Amino acid sequence: MTRYGIVGAGSVGSTVAVGLTRGGHRVIVIDAAADKAGRLADNQPAISVVDRVSELGDCEAVLEAIPDELDSKISVLGQLAESGAAAVLTATSSFTVAQLARESGLGERLAGFHFLPTAAGSGLVEISGAPSTGTAAIDAAIALSDALGTPWMRVSDVPGRVTRRLLVPFVNQVLDAAARGVASPQDIDRVVCLGLGHAVGPLAALQRAGLDDHRRVADNLRGHFGDPAFEVPVDVTDLEQIIQAISDLTEERIK
């Protein structure tokens, strides 16, 4: 039985935590919102909650899965560096492992672990490393993917990795089409599923993941690449209403 630490009990952290417990592993979770971590641990005897990042130092690996805000990431990763954690994995898709490893002091102990839950199956993990990343950190990322039963692939240490680099501009176009009334939000999702073969519509997926996450990642990538394709459409003033309009499709696989 392996003991994993997770910082952040949001959609990614909670999905990974529950997946690990199903595989017979123990999980220690911390979140800035203690009640969120507590709810995750409810009725999950294999999940325990701690109050300080320093208490994760003796875990075999720790996954940092907080929102993609650079200062917050560096602060948490810096605390994990001081904790003595042997292998730390960051779920970021916006920032490079090289930058985070350098500014947090984690150096060779940090690897990228971008976990992307999918409606079609267990998900996908993009594993990345900086030139400084050690073999042990990469091995820990692979071991965590295998523990989840999740397919993984090695990708370059670039902002957006593969999935977000392709997906963010696409979702921005979907939001623009919905705002302009090209079709109803429900029908746009159906077109994407039936016409492009997606397992779930992009608006339903966005409703599940959260609009704030998309905005945050899009802004980060826009700043890095300078490409307007990464900019959330400025004329969209009712994004929340658009997302809410497709909430009934969130759990529906369109055939």
What pLDDT does 250 receive? Answer: 46
d(CA 3, CA 27): 6
Name the pLDDT band for 233 (thresholds 50, 70, 90): confident
Name the pLDDT band for 222 (thresholds 50, 70, 90): very high
Residues ≥6 apart with Cβ < 8 Å to 47: 17, 18, 21, 26, 27, 28, 29, 40, 41
What pLDDT does 211 receive? Answer: 83
Share of the chain above pLDDT 70, in %: 90
What pLDDT does 114 receive? Answer: 97
Name the pLDDT band for 243 (thresholds 50, 70, 90): low
140-179 residue pLDDT tens: 999 999 999 999 999 999 999 999 999 999 999 999 998 8
Q: What's the token pair of residue 206?
A: 């966005």
Q: Is it the case that residue 124 has pLDDT exceeding 50?
A: yes
Chain region(s) in the chain for CATH 3.40.50.720 = 3-154
- The Cβ of residue 101 has, within 10 Å, a number of other Cβ atoms equal to 27
What pLDDT does 251 receive? Answer: 44
Report yes or no: 140 and 108 within 8 Å, Cβ to Cβ. no
Mean pLDDT of 207-218: 87
- The Cβ of residue 183 has, within 10 Å, a number of other Cβ atoms equal to 13
Chain region(s) in the chain for CATH 1.10.1040.10 = 163-249
- CA-nearest of 246, 253, 248, 249 to 199 is 253
Q: Is it the case that residue 181 has pLDDT exceeding 50?
A: yes
61-101 residue pLDDT tens: 999 999 999 999 999 999 999 999 999 999 999 999 999 99
**Who wins on pLDDT, 208 or 194?**
194
Question: Tell me: domain 3-154, CATH 3.30.465.10, correct?
Answer: no
Query: By mean pLDDT, which of 11-20, 112-121, 232-241 is the weakest?
Result: 232-241
What pLDDT does 253 receive? Answer: 41
Q: Is it the case that residue 248 has pLDDT exceeding 60?
A: no
DSSP label at residue 109: G
What pLDDT does 245 receive? Answer: 66
Which numeric CATH code is attached to 163-249?
Answer: 1.10.1040.10
What pLDDT does 249 receive? Answer: 47
What pLDDT does 205 receive? Answer: 86
What pLDDT does 252 receive? Answer: 46
